[in-house]
Amino acid sequence: MKQRRITSFVAAALAIGSLSMQSCKKSSGSKDVSRATGWKINAKEGGFQYNSDFKEQETAPGLVFVEGGTFTKGKVQDDVMHDWNNTATTQHVQSFYMDETEVTNVMYLEYLDYLKSVYPPEDPRYTNIYEGALPDTLVWRNRLGFNETMTNNYLRHPAYAEYPVVGVNWVQATQFAEWRTDRVNEAMLEREGYLAEDVKYRAMNGEIGGTFSTEAYLNNPKSVYGGQIDTLMGKMQKDSMPTFAKRSTGIIMPEYRLPTETEWEYAAQALVGSREYNNYRGRKKYPWEGDYTRSGQRVGRGDQLANFKQAKGDYGGIAGWSDDGADITAPVKSYKPNDHGLYDMAGNVAEWVADVYRPIVDDEISDFNYFRGNVFMKKAIGEDGKVKVLPQDEIVYDTLPNGKIVAVNMPGEVKMIPVDEEDTYLRTNFAESDARGYRDGDPGSSRFFDRFSDEEDERKMYNAPSHTIERDEEGNLVREYDKSNSRTSLINNEVRVYKGGSWRDRAYWLDPAQRRYLPQYMATDYIGFRCAMSRVGSKSKDKNKTVRGKKVRK
């Protein structure tokens, strides 16, 4: 009798446990049932539609994943100037992606070819679009040097196809990144069936009266391709009704952009190769291990690890085995990558980063994704209540201080305007649209070059030259060079940081923490750039692994 009661009890317990497990599985294990309402997700009948199968961000073309972490920014071993330009600060960087190599001539030529096809420069409306994107090949000229071969051939000759592009100013580099974002997302949407096959080529060849813009597609899709989007839908179109991708589909990539100075320095140092548990083992002077510029490994011992100027008049070494293999720039991937898989993070060309330059980093305000250069904008709304998209015949140009005209808003792009008081009222995290001069690197921005000025707008910390350029009544450019003798600095909100040593620099500049600056409208024969992209979602791409019974991350 006792045995029978025990058996019955066990059977009942097992039954209850089974029902409980089924109930839990049914209520919380299904991705197609909302935990908020219990309604179906992605039901055929309608309701909430969402990409519940999304796993992680796809690595976009040309990029390498860089897992974020904590590091000491501005830590240099050689600081002969003692100018406080590399004040060491502890920073944390979110995970991101970065171009495996510098942007090459052939990559930039693809950009120029696209602009020339879509906006023919022989059309007076579009002339300045193409000309404004052209690199300055005259940067190779030297009054006491014979460099005309590079002036005429470096950008376009196939012998230099895989060499890093130079002669590109900061403004042009950011515009290339914007163009690249749209072309990649255009290809992604075609691949996933949201756009018909080969639409991108038809638009480029002028068969379609308009182009594709990522932000225009997301905010006002009917405006894309000159309003012809309904006839250009792909296999995802359902029941003859247009189906547009949204951010929630997980297909649209974040924008390509210039890396911030913090991201660039973190990626160049590649401290991941020196990690021991939760600390870094020693210090790194260069993107590679050791304190020397030549390889100490058994294979390749004595080889130079970067392309840089070794001494006065010595840009590569004596001809033969021991030189660095280059006199000017070198083809990308000529040297070994660092521990992140990134090439030429020292030498070859220096690289533009996104930051506005200031001599001191204000880590009291931000030690997470530090960046100086924010200009907060918002989308303009038209009279119809929709996001305003520039028509095909409307282009917004800007004239740089050197007279170069660049297009800052292209046809088919969303019109952006500064944030206003409605956006900043009672906010504590930002108070105005332009934050480039916030705190200005000193406590509260309380120091001014002219502290006794009666004009509030004149009380600035930096007294940089102010060159002006405008057009007269006949449309001719009138340049006015600042000849003032009272200027005290070259720093203003239009000077940008560039990082890394170049083929023209000594080894001193190969340290990733070193930093220099140049006006954003200027170009040289030793500064190039590479793009970055933010990581959305998880910090790491590695799954948890079990070590001695404990879950840890690799």
> Please, which pLDDT band fits residue 458 given cuts at 50, 70 and 90?
low
Closest CA to 287 of 308, 301, 273: 273
Concatenating the DSSP letter of every residue in 518-551 gives EETT---SSEE---EEE--S-S-SSPPEEETTEE
Joined tokens for residue 436: 């480039």
CB atoms within 10 A of CB 326: 21
| Confidence at residue 25, expressed as pLDDT on a 0 to 100 scale | 46
| Confidence at residue 324, expressed as pLDDT on a 0 to 100 scale | 81
Distance, first Cα to last Cα, the chain: 57
Joined tokens for residue 196: 């018909």
| Confidence at residue 547, expressed as pLDDT on a 0 to 100 scale | 45
| Confidence at residue 281, expressed as pLDDT on a 0 to 100 scale | 66
C-alpha of 175 from chain center: 11
Whether residue 84 contacts residue 290, with contact meaning beta carbons closer than 8 Å, is answered with no
Closest CA to 177 of 233, 228, 103, 251: 103
Whether residue 461 contacts residue 482, with contact meaning beta carbons closer than 8 Å, is answered with no
For residue 347, pLDDT over 70 is answered with: yes
> For 221-244, how does the pLDDT look when each residue is reduced to its tens digit (9 = 90+)?
989 998 888 888 888 776 656 689
Q: Which residues contact 169 (CB under 8 A, 6 or more apart)?
A: 136, 400, 404, 520, 521, 522, 523
Element (H, E) at 488: none
Q: How far apart are CA 404 and CA 477, in angstroms?
A: 10
Q: How far apart are CA 441 and CA 435, in angstroms?
A: 12
Joined tokens for residue 494: 């239009």
| Confidence at residue 447, expressed as pLDDT on a 0 to 100 scale | 55
For the CA atoms of 364, 368, 374, 378, what is the dihedral angle to 10 degrees? -130
> Please, which pLDDT band fits residue 23 given cuts at 50, 70 and 90?
very low
DSSP 248: G
Average pLDDT over residues 34-50: 88
Concatenating the DSSP letter of every residue in 406-466 gives EEEE-TTSBPEEE--HHHHTT-SS--SSB-TTSSTTSGGG---TTTT-S-GGG--S-----
| Beta bridge pairs of residue 518 | 496
Q: How far apart are CA 133 and CA 404, in angstroms?
A: 10
For residue 171, pLDDT over 90 is answered with: yes
Residue scoring higher pLDDT (379 or 274) = 379
> For 67-82, how does the pLDDT look when each residue is reduced to its tens digit (9 = 90+)?
999 998 987 777 777 7
Joined tokens for residue 63: 């990029």
DSSP 230: G
Q: How far apart are CA 395 and CA 381, in angstroms?
A: 17
DSSP 273: G
> For 526-553, how does the pLDDT look when each residue is reduced to its tens digit (9 = 90+)?
999 999 999 999 998 875 444 444 444 4
> For 89-99, how does the pLDDT look when each residue is reduced to its tens digit (9 = 90+)?
899 999 999 99
Q: How far apart are CA 490 and CA 462, in angstroms?
A: 8
Using DSSP, state whether 215 is helix, strand or coil. helix
Q: How far apart are CA 203 and CA 211, in angstroms?
A: 6
> For 93-121, how does the pLDDT look when each residue is reduced to its tens digit (9 = 90+)?
999 999 999 999 999 999 999 999 999 99
Which single residue is written with the structure tokens 């309003």?
227
Number of residues that this document lists for the chain:
554
Joined tokens for residue 183: 């072309």
| Beta bridge pairs of residue 275 | 280
Number of separate helices (H) and strands (E) present in the chain: 9, 19
CATH number for 60-192+251-369+500-554: choose from 3.60.130.10, 3.90.1580.10, 3.40.718.10, 3.40.50.620. 3.90.1580.10
Concatenating the DSSP letter of every residue in 363-400 gives TTT--BS--S--B-EEE-B-TTSSBPB--TT--EEEE-
Q: How far apart are CA 337 and CA 287, in angstroms?
A: 9
Average pLDDT over residues 40-47: 87
Whether residue 295 contacts residue 305, with contact meaning beta carbons closer than 8 Å, is answered with yes
pTM: 0.88
For residue 156, pLDDT over 90 is answered with: yes
For the CA atoms of 27, 32, 34, 37, what is the dihedral angle to 10 degrees? -90
> For 365-398, how does the pLDDT look when each residue is reduced to its tens digit (9 = 90+)?
789 999 999 999 999 998 888 899 988 778 888 8
Q: What is the mean pLDDT of the chain?
A: 85
Closest CA to 176 of 497, 498, 407: 407
Q: How far apart are CA 184 and CA 337, in angstroms?
A: 25
For residue 21, pLDDT over 70 is answered with: no
Q: Where in the chain is the domain with CATH 3.90.1580.10?
A: 60-192+251-369+500-554
> For 486-516, how does the pLDDT look when each residue is reduced to its tens digit (9 = 90+)?
787 888 899 999 999 999 999 999 999 999 9
Q: What are phi and psi of 264, to 5 degrees?
A: -60, -45
Whether residue 93 contacts residue 363, with contact meaning beta carbons closer than 8 Å, is answered with no
For residue 472, pLDDT over 90 is answered with: no
Percent of the chain with pLDDT over 70: 84
> For 44-69, how does the pLDDT look when each residue is reduced to its tens digit (9 = 90+)?
888 888 888 888 999 999 999 999 99
β-strand pairing of 550-552 with 405-409:
unpaired
Joined tokens for residue 419: 């944030």
